[in-house]
Amino acid sequence: QDGRIELNIAGRPVDLRVSTLPTMYGESVVMRVLDRGQVSLDLEQIGLRSKDLEIIRKLILKPNGIILVTGPTGSGKTTTLYSCLNEANDPMTKIITTEDPVEYNIDGIVQIPINEDIGVTYAACLRAILRQDPDKILVGEIRDLETAQIAVEASLTGHIVFSTLHTNDAPSSVIRLVDLGIEAFLLTATVEAVVAQRLVRRVCSECKEEFEPTDEVLMELELTRSDVQGRTFFYGKGCKVCNGSGYKGRIALFEIMMMSDRLRDLIMDGASTQEIQNAAREEGMQTLRDAGLIHIYDGVTTIEEVVKETIVS
């Protein structure tokens, strides 16, 4: 079973997402804490660098198309999507979302919770939304072919659609949609961009210290000693502020793949994920690992965090 608990702790609104599962020895319970008082839906505050922020703002203003945000559960996809909608939210723009569940309540946006037990699925909800004259649509997740097809239909009829997928990186999302059954010519005509993201922990500013990584550690990033000459690395030794963990807070890593004529041609030709990724990198795409390295060099996070959350591209 899944459920939600709303609490008010010391004047701060806190949501608990609760999941229970019966086991041989009793209930297994997992609770995800969403501190709404700590969440900023300001696009400038989610960790985008100035170049990426400019790209995202241009995407939000597009009159039609599909914008996908991809990553595992808990990688910050919802916060990114809501920040995009919050940026676009004004009295002249009708925004409708369908979610499972509704994570944040935003004034001025029509939000519809999914309830599959009574037939309110993503696909059914999205069909109904198209009859409500929306300007921008958020679909919590593209889970099946029917939802993907309706999202494509919405895009082709003059709507901008935001949604999520669960893939390892941006290029994989294209292959995922093809595997679902979306024809390549429809995909290339509708998808404008794919944003992959991960969350890594920030090294604690109160106890961080410089250190010299070993060659073995550098190999985990596929770097050599000459690659990092002149660079400074940090780790958190642990203190009261960070409860001895060496980390305090999190920051997002972003990988933004903009669709281009070259990428569209590759997709139409049935190119592999690696071929699409290579072409995207040649056109300037920064991978998740690249973004992680920048934060390592800036002293924001550690090698261990980036190795754990990203893969070599």
The pLDDT of 106-117, averaged and rounded, is 91
Residue range 54-111, pLDDT digits in tens: 999 999 999 999 999 999 988 999 999 999 999 999 999 999 999 988 888 888 999 9
Interhelix angle 50-60/77-88, nearest 10 degrees: 60
The pLDDT of 207-227, averaged and rounded, is 91
pTM, full prediction: 0.89
| CATH fold group of domain 43-198+253-297 | Rossmann fold (3.40.50)
Residue range 234-254, pLDDT digits in tens: 999 999 999 999 999 999 999
**Domain boundaries defined on the chain:** 2-35, 43-198+253-297
pLDDT at 37: 64
3-state secondary structure 229-254: CCCCEEEECCCCCCCCCCEEEEEEEE
Query: Which tokens in the block code for residue 50?
Result: 């100035």
User: Which band of pLDDT confidence, cut at 50, 70 and 90, is reported for residue 2?
Assistant: confident
The pLDDT of 197-215, averaged and rounded, is 95
The one-letter amino acid code at 220 reads E
pLDDT at 298: 95
Query: What burial class does residue 259 get, using C-beta atoms within 10 Å of its C-beta: 0-12 exposed, 13-18 middle, 19+ buried?
Result: buried
Report the distance separating Cα 203 and Cα 299, nearest Å.
8
